[in-house]
Structure 1
Amino acid sequence: MKYSSVALLILSSILFFSCSSEDTQPYIEQESIYFPPLTSETWDTKSLSEIGWNVTEQQPLLDYLEIKNTKGFIMLHNGKIVVESYMNGHTESSSWYWASAGKTLTTTVTGIAQDEGILNINDKVSDYIGTGWTSIPLEKENLITNKNLLSMTSGLDDTLGEDISAENLQYLADSGDRWAYHGVFLKLQDVIANASNQTWNSYFNTNLKDRIGMSGAWVPLGDLNIYWSTTRSMARFGLLTSAKGKWENTQIVSQDFLNQATNSSQSINQAYGYLWWLNGKSSYHLPQSQLEFNGELISNAPSDMYCALGKNDQKIYIVPSKKLVVIRMGEAADGTNFALSNFDNELWEKINLVIN
């Protein structure tokens, strides 16, 4: 094919200016995620003004948190601390309970165990802890998988209280047919202990806690097993999750598993993954209720946010689009609640004034 001299001149001019335009574009380096040292309380910070946040709205946010019975509050941006405050008698070294926000610790350790090949979430629970762990007929018990425990779809009666002994685990529906917030998820800790030939505490410490520099301990409370730690340790876990399961150069839990965990796990409650709550869905269910509510879980929060929510307003909010992790520990902001409360929406109204 032959080109005229004019056409060649035009083509060369286009290529020249195109290359020149690309070459002169400023190179903007993407800030990598920061991870605090494993064996030190050192944690790098950055100012609100560095990332363009509204400095004048920080103190009103902290004042609001204090009157709402908050004890510890942290905001991370790309891993670095931007806001950290302790109030109402709490300090950086004080421990507090995670309540149901700690469910997501069990989620992550389940993912680690599956990554290691010692369990499969699609297997039935009785493959790991034997039959008779409920009082329901064997053919119904054998329908319940580890995934059903992660997604709150065991079908077991959630109206009988927190007792998860066999006699209190009774049939209400086939697994997968009903979503209900239930403490039976704790059976996953027995599954992991048996699958690993270790105690739950030992496997948790070795495979998660120690690898990301967390402090804290599991404290048995009746039939419950509640995690207690500093606010910074909760922030470490939030950072790990926001970094897609990676801590510096080490993949602690697979990104594939976390993707499953932080997306709708079933069709009944769109706003629930594997023990994680999900914003941005068209409807949601609440604990202790079979009602479906239209709209987003927390309308003032970003749609891509997912969160760990615990009794009396223990919170881990993760917002990928904002590179943001928010931690709140303390007493109930208003009245006693199971997980979600009006406080979530009010708090996000205040947070938005800071980050926007």
Structure 2
Amino acid sequence: MRKIAYASLLIVSLLLTVSCSDSDNSSPTPPEETMYFPPSDGSNTWETQSVAALGWNQAAVQPLVDYLTLKNTKSFMILVNGRIVMEYYLNGHSATTPWYWASAGKTLTAAVTGIAQQEGLININNKVSDYLGTGWTSAPLAKENLITCKNLLSMNSGLDDSMGDSVNPSNLLYVADAGTRWAYHNVYVKLQDVVAAASGQSWSTYFNTKLRDRIGMTGGAWIASGDDLSVYWSTTRNMARFGLLALNKGKWNGVQVVNEAFFNEAVNTSQNLNQAYGYMWWLNGKSTYRLPQTQFQFNGSIIPNGPADMYCALGKNDQKIYVVPSKKMVVIRMGEAADSVNMALSDFDDTLWTKINALF
């Protein structure tokens, strides 16, 4: 009897152990390890997490803020797993004040181009003239017909980048065959015309419906800036929302807004001329890179002090979205030029990352 009783107790004990084990396995992951997405309903609700809870160096916070203030920064945010860890508004700026993205907004155009492709409206491997008709450049017809939508995404259209900002046909002159020369060029904006033509909607309408409103970037807008261009303006938190979408490879709270395969292409080297460039995203950690307005190749990473897996949306006068998958982190900086007027990259990037690294 004692043996039977002992055996019964042993079975009960084992069952309890398995039950507890199953319960542990099904318990939710701690909040700090899950990805958070703020509501897309226009509310200002956003979860936060403290520097202390992450085990970061509190003593490094104030030197970072002092540096940002000195360098004409308007706003600065750090997200980890989607939660706000740092949020500062400086030099007279506020959380509700919009600011321009400059060329950091190129990544918005890239994302919406991807959406148009996944909806079957366009194919980025098709020539641009399939959507806009011929004569959208001043290149010879045979050369114009070499230019694909992917060439515009990758900045290797072969058109002359020395003609200024206008994308009128008279300014879009042939220099080299598409795919053979990398040059940072405003001709990318023709992708907005491609999407508008293919969708039968205005660019702003399609953008708002398919991207902005789906991730709660309320109030942001494309504002005409002359030279046939529009620049995106929004609050800092709206820029952070797009950074969070980018961190999650086009997925927002379980919904794939931008096809993941396209997004992976966008944040990897898109051509063999500039390793550090995807589809309008700058890529850190590559062995060589090229810069706007030059035809020189430089050795090393674009931001040596930044994480090697980081991809960046970079705009004139130091508008920044840094996305760091290995740290599940997004960093936003808006403001005036830190030092002097620049197209995208500047020395500020590397020094800023020295200050950010001190947090860890």
User: Which residue of 143, 152, 155 corresponds with 1:149?
Assistant: 152
1:68 aligned residue: 71
Asked if residue 246 in structure 1 is aligned to residue 266 in structure 2, the reply is no
User: Which residue of 109, 113, 126 corresponds with 2:116?
Assistant: 113
Asked if residue 340 in structure 1 is aligned to residue 345 in structure 2, the reply is yes
1:32 aligned residue: 34
Distance in 2 of aligned mates of 1:260 and 1:301:
21
1:29: how far off?
2.8
User: Which residue of 166, 189, 192 corresponds with 1:189?
Assistant: 192
Q: What is the SS of the residue equivalent to 2:280?
A: coil
1:13 aligned residue: none
Distance in 2 of aligned mates of 1:172 and 1:41:
48
1:264 aligned residue: 269
Asked if residue 42 in structure 1 is aligned to residue 38 in structure 2, the reply is no
**What is the correspondence of 1:140-289 to structure 2 with a 5 Å cutoff?**
140-214=143-217, 215-223=219-227, 224-289=229-294
Q: Deviations over 1:314-338 (max 9, x none)?
A: 0000000000000000000001100
Q: Deviations over 1:284-303 (max 9, x none)?
A: 00000000000001000000
1:141: how far off?
0.3
1:32: how far off?
2.0
2:312 aligned residue: 307
Off by >6 Å, runs of 4+ in structure 1: none
Q: Which runs of 5+ in 2 are unaligned?
A: 1-16
1:118: how far off?
0.5
Q: What is the SS of the residue equivalent to 2:291?
A: coil
Distance in 1 of aligned mates of 2:300 and 2:180:
22
2:14 aligned residue: none
1:51: how far off?
1.3
Distance in 1 of aligned mates of 2:290 and 2:254:
37
Q: Percent of counterpart pairs with the same letter?
A: 64
2:6 aligned residue: none
Distance in 2 of aligned mates of 1:168 and 1:249:
43
Letter in 2 for 1:303: A
- TM-score, scaled to structure 2: 0.91
> What root-mean-square deviation, in Å, do the aligned CA atoms of Structure 1 and Structure 2 show?
1.8
Q: What is the SS of the residue equivalent to 1:159?
A: coil
Q: What is the SS of the residue equivalent to 1:290?
A: coil
2:101 aligned residue: 98
Distance in 2 of aligned mates of 1:295 and 1:241:
24
Distance in 2 of aligned mates of 1:95 and 1:216:
8
Letter in 1 for 2:29: E
2:9 aligned residue: none
Q: What is the SS of the residue equivalent to 2:321?
A: strand
Asked if residue 136 in structure 1 is aligned to residue 139 in structure 2, the reply is yes
1:249: how far off?
2.0
Letter in 1 for 2:255: T
- TM-score, scaled to structure 1: 0.92
1:124 aligned residue: 127
Letter in 2 for 1:219: I
Distance in 2 of aligned mates of 1:44 and 1:279:
29
Distance in 1 of aligned mates of 2:324 and 2:340:
26
Q: Deviations over 1:126-147 (max 9, x none)?
A: 0001000001111100000000
Q: Deviations over 1:25-58 (max 9, x none)?
A: x869362210001120111100011111111111
Distance in 2 of aligned mates of 1:198 and 1:166:
22
